[in-house]
Amino acid sequence: MKRRTLIGTAAATAVAPKAFAQGPTEKVRKLNLYSWPQAAFPQSYQAAQLIAQQWRQLGLEVEVKPLQRQAQTQLIWFSRDKWDVTMWRMVGRPERSDPDEFLYSLYYSAYAEKGYNFIGYINPEYDKLAEKQRTQLDKEERRKTAFQMQEIINRDQPQAFLVHPKYVTAFNKAVFKEDTVVNQQGIGIRNIWTFLTIQPLGAQKDLIINSNETINATNPLYIGGAVDSWVTDLVWDRIMRIGPDGMPRPWAAESVNWVDDKTVEIKLRPGMKWHDGKPVTIDDVIFSFEAPAGTKAPMYKPFVTDIAAMEKVGDMGLRFKLKSVNTTFLTASLAKINLIPKHIWEPVLKDLADKPETAEQLKEVSKIGSGPFKLVRWAPTEEIVLEKFPEHFNAPKIDRWIMRIVPNAEATLGMLKKGEINFLGMFGGDVDVLAKFAKDNPDIATRTEVDIGFEYVAFNNRRPPFDDVAFRRALSLAIDRRLMVSAAWQDYAIPANSHVSPVLSYWHDPAVDSMKTGLADAKKILQDAGYRVVGGKLYYPVGKQEKLTTE
Amino acid sequence: MRLVLERFTHNALALLAVTTILFFMFRLMPGTPLAAFISENLNADQQQAMLEQFGLDKPMWQQYFIYLGNLVQGEMGLSFFQRRPVTTILLEVLPNSLILTLTSLIIAYIFGVLAGAWLAWKRGSWIERAAVPAVLATRAAPEFWIGMVLLAVLSFNAGWFPSGGASSPGLAYTSNWQRIASWDYVHHLALPVLTLALYLQGLPLLLMRSNMLEVMHEEFVTMARMKGFSEWRIVIGHAARNALLPVVTAFALGVGLSMGGNVVIETVFSWPGIGRLLVQAVSVHDYPLAQGAFLMIALVLALMNFVADLLYMVLDPRVSHGRKG
């Protein structure tokens, strides 16, 4: 009901289409707006419908075309000149707490052909800033650059940001002490800090969490899927970890210091042990950073390519010499590379050396790490069981961490109620149902967090009229963000206009939040740029020709 | 014997056809397995390397013969995503699928046959008038709906059964046999079996009922009546035996069909079986795993088809005699 009223208001406030000018012209072709199917992602599909409605009032012919996720990825990612506009999303991950990944990769021109800049935004000014922020070790200076970059994107609107979604997770507060969960900025309570500090109240000492995806692999040298990293995170330690505040902090190291702008020195924490009882040494650390450098762990290789050399400093110290100045080294490398035992992996990698296979294809992968949990059992489509490693320097309070694979979203609520799970790590169903469920079940506590990731409409900047800033701005201004939040995301989101989420408060530029939207403004921009509406249809400025067909 | 051989060859050829269709179907489907690996760190060279790893860089006919060659040796390749042998992955979950399917089928068919015979006997009574629409309704209702209703009522609210999975969280067993024989496993199996059995019982029940109605008018039944046998003895001992034949075929085919058709039930009850594996493999373009899962289902189907043929020959001598004549 609420939804319908809102749509009604939006339509009523729209100014009736009026001709900007008359004369012989070239009509803008029909646009296909690709989206996920309604069943797969109802919010995004609803948003696409609303956006199409608003764009039609500019005189555009728009059709919403739902595509299965794989087919959509195939088109958008691998046929980059064959589409005009699509719904898209970037998801939040702990390592994205450093804004570099989004600031750099999304709009860097060298990534336009094959990489993350699939929209084909090319701007040398932006490229320079993207490189610059990587070299600015002074945080304040880097922040200024990050603000400049957000302002450029705000000005150019290479795509239209819609919302940063809010995620709801839940746990049973009759089983766990309520104030012992930890919220991680932009991630929520489903994070390693919670799993380490959460305190059982009674006899149930197992944390049982759900996932709707199966785990593909538990391999410290391979990332097989999103959920895989929940597990590798707990079983294998890293030199640093992203803290609840989003900043990297020393973990397996006692200290991490910049010696100069290309040298980082770490001191290993004393007394650490592998799950097989052997001590963790500085040689293990060196080995862990050398292992991905060859050809045997291609997925982790990018995180070590910046290392020029490693030098031991005493028994417990290690210096990383970098090839270039790189502020993201701590987040992208030290907090990313899993520490693996040399005594187990050296022979394995040696054995692989003259074979075509990589460490990703190993049939038997050693589960020995040094992390706070040991991996004891894994049945891919059923569950994975981790046990507390009591000798860890930050040993968890729970005895076991069990993840159950539950593809049926509604069943997860039944399980939560009955104690078959006691921590709702993800919920694929309607958020309102979850909210009502929590209200009816006083033992269930929910937590909501704004995501680092965002939902947006990607414009193909390669294809006219999207190569025109005025056109993109107009299309972006025509989208009512409050309508997106309330009608499409049912208030489980906040409006977005930046690739740096407001939850990353230090890096987010508040100046870009004040974008004024509205159809009248959108029409004015088009009119000023020479676009015309004739007979209710939008036409290019004089002299510009339509060379493309709808795809 | 010749007939057995003939049927066997027939099924083997069907399997080869299925294999071929599966192989090309997946590869001609839009999309590539690379789409699931999209990351800013995956550059063009790495993508190429990955294609080579998967063997997708070779021409399709070459891939096909490599695949067939491996298959003959019982090798179904490595799953693209799990990086484990497809055979291992399938064999891990096959017992769960078989147990779910067979238990449900047996319950459904025992119930269906008895109830069908009974309803035929009760022809014209109010029981029959009420029961037949009820059976038709359970047969027409979607499986996921029956499943969700049973879950909501018997699990979420009454709390009698677990809400999903095949065993309680964190329980360890020394062997798969020990697990299957445990009370916990049976407890988890109950709701999915009940759902599937409810869905399946309609066919044998209606089949049995109509066969019985036909048989009841045959001369040997009248003869039995004249001999003064009790009604029950006539129904079970004489009529039912003869009405059972088509039900046997339906049973054998049902095993194969519902092996693949358990996708829905397995998803609703988070049951670790082949159906779920299949859906997942198809959605990420894990060709080897998807082909393997389909092939496994086809294999069971062909095998059961063959068994049905054999059973028919044993149960109804006319089948083989007719051929010989």
* Cβ separation B276–A381 shorter than 8 A: yes
Of B78, B155, B164, the CB nearest to A406: B164
Could you tell me if B176 lies within 8 Å of chain A, comparing CB atoms?
no
Q: Is A366 within 8 Å of A232 (Cβ atoms)?
A: no
* Cβ separation B44–A74 shorter than 8 A: no
* Cβ separation A73–B31 shorter than 8 A: yes
Residue of A nearest to B39 (CA): A116
Of A363, A410, A418, the CB nearest to B84: A363
Of A111, A216, A410, the CB nearest to B40: A111
Could you tell me if A74 lies within 8 Å of chain B, comparing CB atoms?
yes
Distance CA A245, CA A241 (A): 11
Work out the pLDDT band at B296, boundaries 50, 70, 90.
confident
Q: Which residue has the higher pLDDT, A60 or B84?
A: A60
What's the pLDDT score for residue B53?
Answer: 67
Q: What ipTM did this prediction achieve?
A: 0.77
Could you tell me if A110 lies within 8 Å of chain B, comparing CB atoms?
no
Of A71, A206, A217, the CB nearest to B30: A71
* Cβ separation A380–B92 shorter than 8 A: yes
Element at A141 (helix H, strand E): helix A139-156
Residue of A nearest to B151 (CA): A411
pLDDT(A245) > 60: yes
Q: Which residue has the higher pLDDT, B148 or A359?
A: B148
Q: Is A150 within 8 Å of A512 (Cβ atoms)?
A: yes
Which residues are registered as beta bridge partners of A209? A403, A423
Work out the pLDDT band at B318, boundaries 50, 70, 90.
low
Q: Which residue has the higher pLDDT, A404 or B38?
A: A404
Distance from CA of B99 to the nearest CA of A (A): 16
Of A208, A363, A415, the CB nearest to B164: A415
What's the pLDDT score for residue A1?
Answer: 39
Could you tell me if B217 lies within 8 Å of chain A, comparing CB atoms?
no
Distance from CA of A69 to the nearest CA of B (A): 9
Q: A-chain residues within 8 Å CB-CB of B169?
A: 206, 208, 383, 402, 404, 420-421
pLDDT(B11) > 90: no
Q: Which B residues, 45 through 74, put their C-beta within 8 Å of a C-beta on chain A?
A: 46-47, 49-50, 53
Q: Is A201 within 8 Å of A175 (Cβ atoms)?
A: yes
* Three state DSSP letters for chain B: CHHHHHHHHHHHHHHHHHHHHHHHHHHHCCCCHHHHHCCCCCCHHHHHHHHHHHCCCCCHHHHHHHHHHHHHCCCCCECCCCCCEHHHHHHHHHHHHHHHHHHHHHHHHHHHHHHHHHHHHCCCCHHHHHHHHHHHHHHHCCHHHHHHHHHHHHHHHCCCCCCCCCCCCCCCCCCHHHHHCCHHHHHHHHHHHHHHHHHHCHHHHHHHHHHHHHHHCCHHHHHHHHHCCCHHHHHHHHHHHHHCHHHHHHHHHHHHHHHHCCHHHHHHCCCCCHHHHHHHHHHCCCHHHHHHHHHHHHHHHHHHHHHHHHHHHHHCHHHHHHHHC
pLDDT(A24) > 80: no
Angle A10-A15-A21 from CA coordinates, rounded to 5°: 145
pLDDT(B163) > 80: yes
Work out the pLDDT band at B50, boundaries 50, 70, 90.
low
DSSP A269: P
Q: Which residue has the higher pLDDT, B325 or A55?
A: A55
Distance CA B148, CA B195 (A): 9
* Cβ separation B35–A358 shorter than 8 A: no
Of B34, B170, B272, the CB nearest to A381: B272
Residues B35-51, mean pLDDT to the nearest whole number: 61
Q: Which B residues, 125 through 154, put their C-beta within 8 Å of a C-beta on chain A?
A: 148, 151-152
Residue of A nearest to B273 (CA): A381
pLDDT(A205) > 60: yes
Q: Which A residues, 194 through 213, put their C-beta within 8 Å of a C-beta on chain B?
A: 206, 208
Could you tell me if B320 lies within 8 Å of chain A, comparing CB atoms?
no
Joined tokens for residue B30: 């839009």
Lowest mean pLDDT among A299-313, A426-440, B209-223: B209-223
Number of A–B residue contacts, CB under 8 Å: 138
Q: B-chain residues within 8 Å CB-CB of A385?
A: 170, 172
Work out the pLDDT band at A70, boundaries 50, 70, 90.
low
What's the pLDDT score for residue B320?
Answer: 57
Residue of A nearest to B158 (CA): A418
Q: Which residues does B154 contact at the CB level (< 8 Å), separation at least 6?
A: B160, B161, B191
What's the pLDDT score for residue A512?
Answer: 93
Distance CA A128, CA A488 (A): 37
Residue of B nearest to A415 (CA): B163
Could you tell me if B159 lies within 8 Å of chain A, comparing CB atoms?
yes
Cis before A465? omega within 30? yes
Q: What is the percent of chain A where pLDDT is above 70? A: 95
Could you tell me if B168 lies within 8 Å of chain A, comparing CB atoms?
yes
To probe the interface with B, which of A88, A381, A444 has the most B CB atoms within 10 Å? A381
Work out the pLDDT band at B120, boundaries 50, 70, 90.
confident
* Cβ separation B82–A206 shorter than 8 A: no
Per-residue pLDDT of A361-379, as tens digits, reads: 776 788 999 999 999 998 8
Could you tell me if A130 lies within 8 Å of chain B, comparing CB atoms?
no
What's the pLDDT score for residue A12?
Answer: 40
Distance from CA of A405 to the nearest CA of B (A): 7
CA end-to-end span of chain A:
35
Q: What is the percent of chain B where pLDDT is above 90? A: 10
* Cβ separation B163–A411 shorter than 8 A: yes
Residues B175-200, mean pLDDT to the nearest whole number: 90
Per-residue pLDDT of A73-84, as tens digits, reads: 778 887 888 999
Q: A-chain residues within 8 Å CB-CB of B269?
A: 408, 411
Residues B22-29, mean pLDDT to the nearest whole number: 74
Residues A141-151, mean pLDDT to the nearest whole number: 96
CA dihedral (A415, A394, A186, A89) positive or negative: negative
Per-residue pLDDT of A521-547, as tens digits, reads: 999 999 999 999 988 899 999 888 777
- Mean pLDDT of the residues in chain A: 89
Q: A-chain residues within 8 Å CB-CB of B94?
A: none
Joined tokens for residue B115: 């109830």
What's the pLDDT score for residue A410?
Answer: 85
Q: Which residue has the higher pLDDT, B173 or A403?
A: A403
The tokens 């029950």 sit on which residue? Answer: B232
* Cβ separation B272–A417 shorter than 8 A: no
Distance CA B285, CA B33 (A): 5
Q: Which A residues, 459 through 488, put their C-beta within 8 Å of a C-beta on chain B?
A: none
* Cβ separation A408–B267 shorter than 8 A: yes
What's the pLDDT score for residue B39?
Answer: 55
Distance from CA of B84 to the nearest CA of A (A): 6
Query: Can you give the pTM of this predicted structure?
Result: 0.81
The tokens 């008359």 sit on which residue? Answer: A22
Burial zone of B116 (CB within 10 Å; 0-12 exposed, 13-18 middle, 19+ buried)? buried
Distance CA A166, CA A496 (A): 12
pLDDT(B300) > 90: no
Cβ atoms within 10 A of the Cβ of A545, count? 8
Per-residue pLDDT of A255-292, as tens digits, reads: 999 999 899 999 999 999 999 999 999 999 999 999 98
Burial zone of A516 (CB within 10 Å; 0-12 exposed, 13-18 middle, 19+ buried)? exposed
What's the pLDDT score for residue B66?
Answer: 76
Q: What are phi and psi of A460, to 5 degrees?
A: -85, 95
CA dihedral (B242, B247, B249, B251) positive or negative: negative
Could you tell me if A323 lies within 8 Å of chain B, comparing CB atoms?
no
Q: B-chain residues within 8 Å CB-CB of A400?
A: 170
Q: B-chain residues within 8 Å CB-CB of A217?
A: 81-83
Distance CA A297, CA A361 (A): 10
